[in-house]
Every structure is written in C-alpha cells, then in structure tokens.
Structure 1
Amino acid sequence: MPAGTVYAANSYEQDAIRVKPIGRGTSIIFLTAAVLFAALSVFLYSNELHIELQEASPFDENWTAIIDGEAEAVNEIPGQIDTPAGEPLIIEKNLPESFTREQAVMFRSSLQYASVYLDDRLIHQSLDETASGLRLPPASHWFIVDIPADASGQTLRLELTSPYEDMSGRINHAYAGDRAGLQAQLFHDYMVDLLFALIIIGTGFAMLGSYVFLRSIRPYEMLYLGMMVLTSGFWFLAESRMIQFFTGNQFLIGGLAYVALAFIPIPLLMYVKHVILTDERKWLNAVTAFLFSWFVFIIVLQLSGIADFFETLTVTFLLSFISYTLVIGLMIFESLKYRNQDAKRFLAGIGLLLFFALIEVLSFLLYDPVFTSDILRIGFGLFLLLMAANALTSLIKRLKTLQESAIYEQLAYTDPLTQGYNRMAFERDVQSLLSDSESANGHWLLYVDINDMKAINDEYGHKSGDEAIRIIFRLMTDIIGNKGHGYRIGGDEFAAILAIPSEEEIERLIESLISAVKEADKELPYHLSAAVGRAYVHLGETTNLSDLLHEADKNMYAEKLKTKGQKL
C-alpha cells in the first residue's frame, strides 16, 4: 500500500496555496490577437460561402372543417374550432398542382392524437395510448407526412383528437416542402428557444460539476441551485418545440415539462434551507418530502391511467405557487430579523422569477395553454444571473477562507527550520494512522536523534547546529522517498512513519541512512552522527489507542538506546 494513501492527513501539501494573478501582458496579448483576427476577417471578406437552407412554405390556406357533416371554411390558423373532448376535429383540403412532385407536409398537434388520410387512405398515424400496459401521456408534437408524387387534386384529410376540453379542436400552422426545408423551418422559428434551453441545461450541469469538483468544501449552493437550474432547463427544452430533435420517446416528449415543473420547487426549498436560512427549520423537510411525493404521485397517476399529467397540472401550479410564496415569506423574515444579505439577494431573484412565472401561468390559464412566452425566459434569465452571481460570490468567499485556513494550517504543521513537518503533524498523522487498524498494521515508526548536538552548538555555533539539523532531516526524507513521511519532533530529534512490510527492508533503509550521513560527515568541519530507533506498529484486538502509543514509545526508545552512541 503506498504510504501517501494510508492516512488522509498526509495528503496535505508542503507548499502554501498561492493564487497567481494574470499579468497585464497576458491580457494585452490576448486582446491584440482577438482584434487582429477580427480585423483580418472583415478586411479579407470576399466570397459568400454561407450555406442557406431553403425553408418550407406555409400550408394554412384553403382548409375546410367537417362539422356535423357540413364543410365550413377554416378562416384562422392557428385557431380553435369548438369540438367536444374525445371527438376528432376533421379538416381537409385538395392538394394543389405543386404536389405533382413528391413532397412532405408538417403538422403540429397540441396534446392530440393525429391521423392523416389521402383520398380516404390512411398514410400516417401518431401517438400510442399505452406501452407495456401503462398509459402514455398525449404529447404535443410535430409530425411529417410524406406525400407521394402525382397527388395533385387528391384530398388530404387530417383528424385531430384530444381527450381534453381545452385542447380539443385546436389547429396549428402547417408547412409543405421537402424534409430538409421543413426541419430548416423549425430551426428558423424556434432556434432561440432551443439555444436558451441548452444554455440553461449547460449552466445547470456546470454548477453540478463544480459541486462534484469542490465537494470537499460542501458548496451546497452549487448543488441545489444546479439541480433547480438543470430541471428548469429541461422544462424549457420540453417547451421549446424542439425536443424531438433529441428523442422520439413519447413519454419524455409528453411528460418532461410536467414532471420538471413539479420537481423545481424541491431543490429550491433545499437551497433555502441549507444555504440561506440562519436557523434550521426541520419542518421544511416535511414540505420537501410532500412535494417529492406529489412528483412521484403524478407519475403513478399518469402511468396507471387514473389522471394524465395535463389533468393534474392545476394542482402542480398551485403547489409551486405555495412553495414560492413560502420561500418569499422566509426570505422576508430572514431579511428583517437577521439582516441576512443572502436572503435579501435571493428575495430579489425569486420575486422577479415569481412575477414572470405568474404572467406565464395567467397566459396558460386564460390565453394560450401551449405558449411559452419570451417574458418568462427573460425573467428566468435575470433570476439565473442574480443567483449565479450570489452563488459565485459565496463560493469565492468560502474558497478564500479555506485558502487562508490552509495557509494557517500549513504554518501550524510546518517546522520553520527544516520546512518539513513538525511534532504537531507527527501526532496528527499517528492518530490518523491508528484510527484504522487495517491501515496501521504493516507500518514502522522510526526515531532519529543527533549525537552530541550540544558540542556542535558550543564549539561551532548555533548556525552550524541548525545546518546539522537541516542535513539530517534532508537525508532522512531523501532516503524515505515515497515510503512515508519525515518529521522534526524536537530540537535534535526526528521521526518517520513508514509503510514498509518487512523488518529486512527497514534494516536496509536504516543502513542507507547511515551511509548517507557518513558521506555528509566527510564534508563538514564538525563530526555529524546520530542514533536510530524503530518500532513496528501492530494493533491487538484489546489494545486501545493510548496504551498502544505508550507501548510504541517504549519500544522505540529501547531501540534508540541500543543504537545510541553508534556513529552514523
């Protein structure tokens, strides 16, 4: 077993942590290169090599709706025709002359099952009601229907059926063209929505990654805020109308937005509890547990067919609103009672988000249940900026405090003369070693004592005495190498903890140390020698820590006496 991995305390670095600022010269070089490249790009612009995608053509004209067996013109698309829930909305049109060649038509359903007919022949059907005996959520989705060549003059009929009153009879834009053009149309219309969602998701992953990377300092603000941001990003992706470029899974397409919306308040409350609040409020655990239960419950209701996600959405909205109101109340209380600056900043952010979320909810309930407004994205973007700035400020302060603590700890465990470990570090590492019986067995404790140290100081001065101490410590640590760690534990006394399995190997190490000191002695004006003692660490089942340390000291002192006076 490598010595450096036996006890955690010895993973500590010898050098103090330093943060080196970026020099002005580096910034100037970077900016100069950027400006030069940008200027050359503009100056040398000649040919237009940009690849342009041909977008599709609108396909909203000349549709008729079949209502009670009568054909009525559809005058407004997008729009909604009064249709009872569970009954199909039927619209149809005669294909124009352009359909003499093969084309495709793209439609979007709003929580509707879709069937497409060409002259009464079924050519497309989308969505399944169940999978493996479990009910799937109806999903708002795009579907592309290939129309064969020479279809001009034939009747294209679309049947859209929704089980929900609010969505039944809804008609969205339709487009015609080749498949590449149809996909280009989607990117043209919804690229901003997709990019926003991907940026939010990436930010969430970055926050969670920073938590994993810095988990030793427990940056809970990054953990819980990252969870909330990531979940929100998935919600924005589900609402971007572009999720089908990533998955064709009906459960994900139809359910991700609902489950994400139900989950978002959970990490929000955990963030408030563990990062913001001054006093621990255990009742928040019960609130969080209830919200998680609801999150699981709506999934069970959906899969069992008792209630779809869409049917439980009002309750999800209500619980989210209560959660956000609760958070705002706690932040106001913290700000007034404890003058909590973190609470004030978070209050500003969550208040801003709640304001825009209310606009979104009102839009959903009163105006358009499939529309995600730019206002909500702006609100969430502002909220994210505020919270990210707050979290980064908190994290930087913590890192600075830890850096200072690490420097102070380094000074506390460092011997100023040898710049190696001191007696405090030795006692720390012995305690750490003996706390794990499996790791302790197979280790040796080595004592080294300089002989006639007083004579060196008296005859050659304390400067030479300090030099002798540094030489012995350096030779000891060089010989030990990666087998363990060396310490100066007194004026002229040294110790080492060694991960060496056999007595023969410890003997060879001592002999190497003896030879190294003898060689160093030849170059010194004074005589340098030392005595060595050693003890094997073995934990018996009935041995407690204090008894073991006493026995180890006694054995090492006995070994030291045996070699005392031996000239190294």
Structure 2
Amino acid sequence: MSKIHRGMVLALAVLIIGVLVPTWIDVSNIEMVSIWDGEATSLRDGWTLSVDGVVLDDEFILPQVVKNLDLSGRRVTLSRTIPSSYTAIRSVLFRTSQKRVKVYVDDRLTYSYDGNIDNRRIGLIGLINHFVRLEEGDQGKRLNIELVSNTPRSSGQFYEVYFGTRTAQIRQLFSYDGFSLVIGVFMIINSVMTALIATRSLRNGKIYRGTLALSSIELCVGVWVCSGSMSTQLFIHNQLLLVVFAMTALYMFPVCVTWFVLSMYSIPNRRFFMVCAMFFPIAYIVVSALQLLGVITYLTVVIPLAVSLFLYTFTLLGAVFSAYRNGEKNAKPFLIASGFLVASIVGELTLLLLPHRTFINIQPLNIGVLIFGSILYAQILTQGVHFLEERGRKEYLQSLAYTDALTGLGNRRAFDEELIRLAKSDSEETSYGILVFDVNSLKQINDDYGHAEGDLVLRQIGRLLTSLYGTFAKIYRIGGDEFAVICGRCDQERMRGMEQSFNEAIAKKPFTVAFGSALSSLDRSDSSDSLYKLADRRMYRQKKTMKYDVRKEKVPNPASIDTVEHPR
C-alpha cells in the first residue's frame, strides 16, 4: 500500500471516528414519537343492527354471520356511539363484501363507496378494506355504517370494526396477514430469479424445462397468496383485480405442476395428464366468458373447481408414486413436498371452519407453501449443480479439442470448422478476409537458442495478433509456425489497416514474419477454402523474398526476445 493510499485510509478513519460516530450518538439520543405507537381497538359489542330502518338486534356483537336471513338488496345499518374514552381516534377500519357502503357521523356523510355492481358485467365484489377518516370532536357522536349487498351470502357477513390512528390500523392489518404478503412477494421474486437461472445457466440442459416449470409454480403460488392477503389492498386498491389474479393462478397451477412432473420424472400415461391439465385453462376461459355475459361468476364454480383440482392432483400424485415404486427415485422429493402442501391445505380448511378468524388461521398454507417450494427448489438446485459441473467438464474437453495448447489460440480444427461455417453462411457475411502468417526460419531459432526460445517466439506472435485483431477477428495457430486470422465483415480499407498495423508492430521484433491476405469481396473466390489457399500462396510468395537477416553476432540475448514472458 502506498503512502498516499495509507494517508487517505487514515483520514477516512479519523473522519468516521471523529465526526460521524458522535453525530450518530447525538441523533440516537433524540426522543421522537414513533408513527407506530398506539393500538387499533376492535369494538365488538354495543352495536345495533337495523334493516331498512327496523332494529333487529340492539346488542349486536362483531364479527358475526347472520344465517337464514337474506339481506341482499336491503339497507343494513350498523350503528354505535364513537367512544370518548379513547384518545387518538382518527380513523375507522372495517372490511366488507358489499356493493355499496356509506358511513355517517350523526347526520354527516363521512364516507361513500359504490362498487357500481349494477352497471358491470362481472358481478363480483370481493373483500374490501375501508379506511374512514374521523374529524376532531367526533368522539361521543353516533357512527352509522350503511351497507347494501348484492348476494345473500355476503349480505349476512359482518366483520370487526377498528378504531384508532391510520398507522395503528395498518399495523393491525399487517399483523393479521402481512406475513402472507411477504411470503407471496418472496415467491414471486424467487420465481423471477429461478427463470433467470434457467435461461442464463441451464439452457439446453435436461432440467431446463423443469426449472422453468418450477418458476411458473412459484409464480402461481405467489400470486395466489398475495391476492388473498388483505394487506395487498394497501398497494392494489382494486379488489376485483386481485380476485382475477387469484383465479388465474388457481386455474394455471395444475398446468404448471404437470409441466414440472413431466419434465422431471418418467411417469406412465404422460399424454393423459397433458390433456387433463389443459382442461383447467380452457375451463378458465369459458368461465370468464360466461362471467362477462352475466351468466355465472368465478364464485359460482369455486366448489366444482376445487373438487376437480383435488381429484386431478391426487391422480397425478398417484402416477408419480407409481413411478417412484418402479424405480424413479428422483420423484421422492416431489412426493414429500406435495405431502406438506396437501397437509397445509387441509389444515387451512380446518381452521377456516372455526367461528372466528385469527392470525393462526392463515399460517398453515403459508408454511406449507414455503416447505413445498423449498424442497422442489433444493432438488432443482442439486441437479442444476450436477448439470453445470458436467457441462463444465464437457466444455473443458471441447476447448482442448479446439485450442492450441502453446498459444491458447484456436487450432487447425477450429480454423477448418470456421471455414466450413463461412461457406454455409448467408450473404450478410460474404465479405470477409483471411490473413495467413508464417514465422521465418523458426527452425534456425530453435537450433541456435533451443526450442524453449522458439516456443517463446510463437507465444509472442500469438499475443501480438491478439492485441492487434482480437477485438474484431478470430485468430488461430494452424501449424507449427503458421497462424491465420479470419475477419468477418471485412472490407478493403480494413484489410489495408490490418496489414499496416502488423507491419509496424513486427518491425520492432528481432525476427521476421511473412504474411499473405485475401478478401472475399475483392478476390471473388469460389469458396472460403479457396480464399484461404489464395492467402496462403501470397504468404509463400512474400516468404521467398524475405530471409532470416539477423546475423548470429547481432542476435540479442535469448531472454530479451520477449520481455513479457520467460521460459521456466
């Protein structure tokens, strides 16, 4: 490390210790009220339930489901006195699945929402979070939440109402299912990363399609989890859009799983599963079309879809298990992962039957999704590492077959194959040039100074050609003392520049090199091979006019032939 460098490092250290550290300490001692202070309070009791102005229950408790009573299309009102015993009540948070919502404080309209369901073809609402701002002095006044539903099922569902600051309510929302949003986003990001790995590193490999299939599975699961999270509505306010995303992911999930299984394992009846998997996206298109026509909605076919998906999944798992029993040992991780996923779904459905939804209700599916994806990802990762190692070995062996060991340039085999490629190429690459080089009197150099010095000369020629032409041309060592350069899309001006730059560079060396060139657009050669032969003849014609003119007494010390590299 130089003195200047050490001085800069020392000055930076002094700056950090003497200025920044005291600043951090001083700032950290400043007491500020956190925006997350305070709690969102759920007021469950003390509500009055009215329908079209008639009181049905003056001791209504939230949350609650009113059964055996169709309230669709009727004006349902929840009313309660805003408590004055709480401080920092600035907002009301509640969720509904109603087509119209209005909130009054006494007789003042504070909030209004209209899903415009009567003018839309798609008769879906979804579960929506409503944040209602309260004014100073609203404590002690009467809060009236007026609801109008369009379906009997949603008309009787009443959720908790939270009072508090907006930030406290957001925290309450995240504490309920924010973890689902995190898991969903993680799966989507992981899906993108998996697809990038497949396209950049595993292309043309055996597990390429399997990795892309896993990426699509992660995408479907991530979209499904995010769409079902209430926290997602903080960023995407259109709940109907989330419903469409969720349905798309659900219908495409069996296709992606089938794609993964068929790509990774040898199972019986492959065509049968391919056809059955395509049933789901086709059904999705049909259901979406019928929904646009106002015949049905996604919710109408949820149960038939769930049953079909359940039956198909277990049929597919049965085929994978059969393949495992017959020797397909690679299928074991998939069976284990699917077992965790099925168990989590069963656990989720069981907990959803409980009378009240809590944080724990939504965790089994999240945990199952993580385990499912982790097991499959571990299998893909293991096989991907093996594939990359095998490909690396093959590329190394191939490089040995096409690389000159002494100079690191392409060898004669690589040169011949490039000529064949040029002969088959289209008209865009018809203008190309070939230069052939030959070291004069290499045998005499070997005799006078030894083969080590002769090899040193060859390596120096290789480095010289690479420095001159390596950025735009391909360079080869095609014989003992012969080199060749192929320049694609080469015109007469570039060829003259290449010849001139070589003459200037070789003039500084203690040895001479003969060369000849040929240009396809100028010499009108019938083929790349005949163009090479023309350049070779011109090289030998020049070679006859040159000689090894470095006399023995003027030949420099062998070690000075190349000041960059010395033989060991």
TM range (shorter): 0.7 to 0.9
Q: Does 1:536 align with 2:519?
A: yes
Report the 3-state secondary structure (helix = DSSP H, G, I; strand = E; otherwise coil) of the residue aligned with 1:224.
helix
Cα offset for 1:237?
Answer: 1.7
2:230 maps to 241
Q: Are 2:82 and 2:143, in contact at CA under 8 Å, matched by a contact in 1?
A: no
1:559 maps to 538
Query: Which letter does structure 1 place at the counterpart of 2:250?
Result: L
Whole-Å Cα distance in 2 between the matches of residues 413 and 373 of structure 1? Answer: 58
Report the 3-state secondary structure (helix = DSSP H, G, I; strand = E; otherwise coil) of the residue aligned with 2:278.
helix
Whole-Å Cα distance in 1 between the matches of residues 269 and 388 of structure 2? Answer: 24
Whole-Å Cα distance in 1 between the matches of residues 64 and 73 of structure 2? Answer: 17
2:435 maps to 446
2:264 maps to 275
Whole-Å Cα distance in 1 between the matches of residues 368 and 224 of structure 2? Answer: 15
- Could you say if the C-alpha distance between residues 516 and 108 of structure 1 is closer, same or farther in structure 2, counting changes exceeding 3 Å? closer
Cα offset for 1:386?
Answer: 1.0
Whole-Å Cα distance in 1 between the matches of residues 472 and 82 of structure 2? Answer: 85
Cα offset for 1:81?
Answer: 0.9
1:16 maps to none
Note the 1:406-421 alignment, pairs <5 A: 406-421=395-410
- Could you say if the C-alpha distance between residues 102 and 79 of structure 1 is closer, same or farther in structure 2, counting changes exceeding 3 Å? closer
Whole-Å Cα distance in 2 between the matches of residues 467 and 151 of structure 1? Answer: 92
Query: Which letter does structure 2 place at the counterpart of 1:348?
Result: I
Whole-Å Cα distance in 2 between the matches of residues 422 and 62 of structure 1? Answer: 89
Q: Does 1:425 align with 2:409?
A: no
Cα offset for 1:140?
Answer: 0.3
Query: Which letter does structure 1 place at the counterpart of 2:46?
Result: N
Whole-Å Cα distance in 2 between the matches of residues 432 and 309 of structure 1? Answer: 56
Query: Which letter does structure 2 place at the counterpart of 1:357?
Result: I
Q: Does 1:345 align with 2:333?
A: yes
Cα offset for 1:138?
Answer: 0.9
- Could you say if the C-alpha distance between residues 511 and 180 of structure 1 is closer, same or farther in structure 2, counting changes exceeding 3 Å? closer
Q: Are 2:202 and 2:384, in contact at CA under 8 Å, matched by a contact in 1?
A: no
Whole-Å Cα distance in 1 between the matches of residues 482 and 95 of structure 2? Answer: 82
Unaligned runs of 5+ in 1: 1-40, 522-527
Cα offset for 1:564?
Answer: 3.2
Cα offset for 1:150?
Answer: 5.4
Unaligned runs of 5+ in 2: 1-23, 548-568
Q: Are 1:160 and 1:169, in contact at CA under 8 Å, matched by a contact in 2?
A: no
- Could you say if the C-alpha distance between residues 550 and 433 of structure 1 is closer, same or farther in structure 2, counting changes exceeding 3 Å? closer
1:549 maps to 528
Identity over aligned pairs, percent: 25
Query: Which letter does structure 1 place at the counterpart of 2:171?
Result: A
Report the 3-state secondary structure (helix = DSSP H, G, I; strand = E; otherwise coil) of the residue aligned with 2:296.
coil
| Cα RMSD for the two superposed structures | 3.7
- Could you say if the C-alpha distance between residues 217 and 281 of structure 1 is closer, same or farther in structure 2, counting changes exceeding 3 Å? same
2:465 maps to 476
**Which has the higher mean CA deviation after the structures are superposed, 503-512 or 302-311?**
503-512
Note the 1:83-232 alignment, pairs <5 A: 83-84=69-70, 86-88=72-74, 90-96=76-82, 98=84, 103-110=90-97, 113-118=100-105, 123-130=110-117, 134-135=121-122, 137-148=124-135, 155-214=142-201, 216=203, 219-232=208-221
Q: Are 2:345 and 2:365, in contact at CA under 8 Å, matched by a contact in 1?
A: yes
Report the 3-state secondary structure (helix = DSSP H, G, I; strand = E; otherwise coil) of the residue aligned with 1:482.
coil
Q: 1:62 aligns with which of 37, 46, 49?
A: 46
TM-score (norm 1): 0.79
Cα offset for 1:89?
Answer: 6.8
Report the 3-state secondary structure (helix = DSSP H, G, I; strand = E; otherwise coil) of the residue aligned with 1:476.
helix
CA displacement, residues 254-282 of structure 1 (integer Å, 9 cap, x when unaligned): 43333322222222221222233378934
Tell me how many residue pairs correspond in the alignment: 516
Cα offset for 1:71?
Answer: 2.9
Query: Which letter does structure 1 place at the counterpart of 2:188?
Result: I
2:485 maps to 496
Q: Are 1:95 and 1:151, in contact at CA under 8 Å, matched by a contact in 2?
A: no
Report the 3-state secondary structure (helix = DSSP H, G, I; strand = E; otherwise coil) of the residue aligned with 2:519.
strand
1:27 maps to none
Whole-Å Cα distance in 1 between the matches of residues 328 and 286 of structure 2? Answer: 36
Q: Which has the higher contact order (CA 8 A, sep 6+)?
A: 1
Report the 3-state secondary structure (helix = DSSP H, G, I; strand = E; otherwise coil) of the residue aligned with 1:54.
coil
Q: Are 1:63 and 1:93, in contact at CA under 8 Å, matched by a contact in 2?
A: yes
**Which has the higher mean CA deviation after the structures are superposed, 50-59 or 532-541?**
532-541
CA displacement, residues 410-465 of structure 1 (integer Å, 9 cap, x when unaligned): 22222112222211222333344444324423320111123444454456544444
- Could you say if the C-alpha distance between residues 462 and 369 of structure 1 is closer, same or farther in structure 2, counting changes exceeding 3 Å? same
Q: Are 2:105 and 2:143, in contact at CA under 8 Å, matched by a contact in 1?
A: yes
